[in-house]
Amino acid sequence: MKILVTGGAGFIGSAVIRHLISKTQHSVVNVDCLTYAGNLSTLDHVSSNPRYSFEKVNICDTAAVQGVFERHRPLAVMHLAAESHVDRSIDGPSAFIQTNVVGTYTMLEASRRHRQSLPADEQGAFRFHHISTDEVYGSLGDEGLFTEKTSYDPSSPYSASKAASDHLVRAWNRTYGLPVVLTNCSNNYGPYQYPEKLIPLTITSALAGKPLPVYGKGENVRDWLYVDDHARALVAVLERGLVGETYNIGGNSERKNIDVVRTICGLMDELSPNTTNRPHEKLITFVTDRPGHDHRYAIDASKIHRDLGWTPEESFTSGLRKTVQWYLSNEDWCRQAVADRYSGERLGLKS
Ligand code: TDX
């Protein structure tokens, strides 16, 4: 099957493409406009494979997107392209509305038109897979889990834009019969994550001996999912998920932020070649809280386990160790990823 993957130069998109090329026989066309967080070097191991091709296209560009569909005639779309950093959405919501809402609309319309041009049997097989986030459900208290039936209650411009995109996707299924599947995942971590998110920012700052900013008291809880486990789950949903269904994907690894940061400090004490910053915990700095900061996210992933047999393989302990080791072995990648674009400054405080 030929799969059009949007956002394939990003963190999760590139993990999906590496998985598709190395572990399946599917072909991939990667559609990415290479924003600050997009990086084709994430695909160096697979980019020479004849089943891989790349189109530098912005998903908001209707004509360019249509051209991609006409040239490649995919049988499925995995839509991952998005602005994803909550703090940036507080500083500048506009790009989030454009890419996440208008871009999703553009992809849906292009998919609908393209599907109509396919032979009848392929029209039945066509899938639009929308990849989304657990943040659409808002914030949990100390108890309970997000299920696929939890009401939407987004807090940030980012999560509101993803909620809007989820609604568009379901509407295109109900109104136009577009065969869609949706997934909502918990916090991803692993190699190639842009060093603005909590885990890679903490590792790279600790390596540089810089302060490790913890928002508020560090009591907020996230449910951590190793990115390669997520990639496997996404391919299972695309291949075997039922049309119109939503699947929550989570790592069964709830942690308070402060515990995540302390664990990284311990791993850095053990693994970092730079011994001058030991103990790294002394770099922890409590800073002003994020506006609208959701207290807790936690996913009930029993549906995807029951219906598709998926379960995470990586524990948070093993995944975090691997991730720290990866960042320590790939300092050049990190330097190049942020060069002239981001120097670790605090984002998301503007009112
Ligand atoms: O420097 C920091 N200090 C800190 O305490 C940063 C960057 C974050 N935090 C806190 C805020 C969150 O409670 O750590 C937690 C994780 O923050 P992020 O890495 O920014 O992720 P989060 O806001 O939870 O959103 C992530 O998960 C859901 C992704 O960025 C989203 O794209 C995804 O949809």
Residue 278 pLDDT more than 70?
A: yes
Q: Is the per-residue pLDDT at 285 higher than 90? A: yes
Amino acid at 201: L
pTM, entire model: 0.98
Specify the pLDDT at position 154.
98
Express each pLDDT in 126-173 by its tens digit. Answer: 999 999 999 999 999 999 999 999 999 999 999 999 999 999 999 999
Ligand 1 site, residue 201, Cβ cutoff 6 A: yes
User: What confidence tens digit (pLDDT) does each residue in 179-202 have?
Assistant: 999 999 999 999 999 999 999 999
Q: What is the DSSP letter of 55?
A: E
> What integer pLDDT is reported at residue 350 of this predicted model?
73
Convert the pLDDT of each residue in 210-234 to its tens digit.
999 999 999 999 999 999 999 999 9
- Do 220 and 183 touch, CB atoms closer than 8 A? no
Q: Give the distance (Å) from ligand 1 centre to CA of residue 351.
A: 19
Strand partners, 3: 28, 76
Task: Flag whether pLDDT at 242 surpasses 70.
Answer: yes
Q: Is 134 one of the annotated active-site residues of the chain?
A: yes
Contact residues for 238 (Cβ-Cβ < 8 A; gap 6+): 3, 76, 78, 127, 129, 181
Q: Considering the chain, what percentage of its residues have pLDDT values greater than 70?
A: 100
- pLDDT category of residue 340 using cuts at 50, 70 and 90: confident
222 in contact with ligand 1, CB cutoff 6 A: yes
In the residue annotation, 135 being an active-site residue is answered as yes
Active-site annotation holds for 297: no
User: Which residue ranges make up each domain of the chain?
Assistant: 2-188+226-252+295-313
Q: Which of 32, 83, 134, 229 is catalytic?
A: 134
CA of 259 to the centre of ligand 1 (A): 14
Domain 2-188+226-252+295-313 has CATH 3.40.50.720: yes
User: Stretch 74-87: mean pLDDT, rounded?
Assistant: 98
Bridging pattern class, strands 187-189 and 221-226: parallel
Quickly state the pLDDT bin for 351 (edges 50, 70, 90): low
Q: How confident is the model at residue 257 (pLDDT cuts 50, 70, 90)?
A: very high
